[in-house]
Structure 1
């Protein structure tokens, strides 16, 4: 992993770049959008996992304008702290930052073609919005929490997409998940449900983690990327 910056209209946004081990030549890129907990160890680990598949992964610090201290996930109020931070983010500015990250990643010698965008929870919704206003190669959204309020953008998301949702999501009920499924449906959309899994089921924190759903969603992601954003 290397630390870098991405030029935006408001200044230089910090970001982290994960490159495939032993890569020869340019590789497809992915912008990975954080959860509400920021660029945590978990997000870095998933970025490394995606890089291990052969992709160049850029992880922007979307809280950069707020400049908060790292969220302590061992504290009793870590969820409230994270939700408070996410609520302070200027959404339109964050979308613009995501578009800037896609453009920056595409400009690198290490990447080939148009990069894709992926995100978890808060980042899953932001990734969806970014895909609606930019032109990524793919979209992967894990339980995008903002999706219910963004469905009017669905016709603008033309990239092949993969959506993950748990059937026991306490933040996005089954009726809403069904509404999302119908709105995003199309020939290039893959929509996966995971029985018994709650919100943020891929996050390893004991409050959220559902091992079977996490493993199944990861395998769907690996297969989707192999099909839609293959390594040359």
Structure 2
């Protein structure tokens, strides 16, 4: 089998996050792999595989999940709301923000995992105002380039408000996001003083010092050691957070890739780093949202 190299992973990152289109990606991957057949065999290792079994199945009796609709920033939002089946008291709330493929089966699984940790978990579909997350992940990624940033942030703030008002919640709400969702968590912290905790996995950082100064929520920031594109903004972000006297923690997991938490992506997932970051995330949310 052709080994998956850093250059291949970088090409995939350029395709999924920057300006390289699928044709250009396949051409580059073919050159790196040595043949079209080898490139075709490598693509499933790089991409997320929705066919992989969920860690917490949709019909797991330990959780109760439902599809919900609620007022967004300028229209209707939709999401997936999950709670532990045996919950008896009011629970802290957690918004789970998806990657740039929308509210897909993997993020639904992560939302159920969060619920099992003792949270009322809501995964908004930020493509809902545009027709909802499609099953075709390439189409979903393309849709993200058309999003209105102001409306998307308003929808995120509305999601926090919806969860805060849920009768099963304790009134405190945190947010955890991955990739695009990690960047959105950072922006949510900037724009919502009512957010009680924020966890960003390999998310783009806010660039404006004045915006960073508005952050109220304590931050937990997870980064992948080999994620040069995102990591380029870490030091500037830390500097502004320090200047503004904000509460934050930064963890860089050495020798792992962007999306190391996504266990549906064979070439990029790193169980050791994912488990360590998850443990830190759950402990942080339990402390800040109690």
1:27 paired to 2:95: no
Provide the rounded CA distance (Å) in 2 between the counterparts of 1:157 and 1:139.
Answer: 10
**Equivalent of residue 58 in structure 1, options 122, 146, 151:** 122
- Change in Cα spacing, 1:120 to 1:30, as seen in structure 2 (3 Å) is same
Larger radius of gyration: 2
Q: How does 1:71-110 map to 2 (within 5 A)?
A: 71-72=135-136, 78=138, 81-110=139-168
Structure 2 gap ranges (5+):
1-64
Q: How many residues align?
A: 222
Provide the rounded CA distance (Å) in 2 between the counterparts of 1:222 and 1:60.
Answer: 19
Deviations 1:125-169 (A, max 9, x none): 111111212121101111113x15455422111211100001100
Deviations 1:81-106 (A, max 9, x none): 44422211111101000111111111
**Equivalent of residue 240 in structure 2, options 170, 183, 200:** 183
Contact 1:33 1:127 in 2 (8 A): yes
Contact 2:92 2:172 in 1 (8 A): yes
Contact 1:28 1:229 in 2 (8 A): yes
Provide the rounded CA distance (Å) in 2 between the counterparts of 1:118 and 1:219.
Answer: 13
Provide the rounded CA distance (Å) in 2 between the counterparts of 1:68 and 1:53.
Answer: 28
Q: Please, what is the CA RMSD of the aligned residues?
A: 1.9
Provide the rounded CA distance (Å) in 1 between the counterparts of 2:185 and 2:146.
Answer: 18
Contact 1:21 1:51 in 2 (8 A): no
Contact 1:116 1:138 in 2 (8 A): yes
Provide the rounded CA distance (Å) in 1 between the counterparts of 2:228 and 2:281.
Answer: 23
Counterpart for residue 184 of structure 2: 126
Deviations 1:112-132 (A, max 9, x none): 122112211111111111121
* TM-score, scaled to structure 1: 0.88
* TM-score, scaled to structure 2: 0.71
**Equivalent of residue 218 in structure 1, options 274, 278, 282:** 278
Counterpart for residue 257 of structure 2: 198
Structure 1 gap ranges (5+):
none
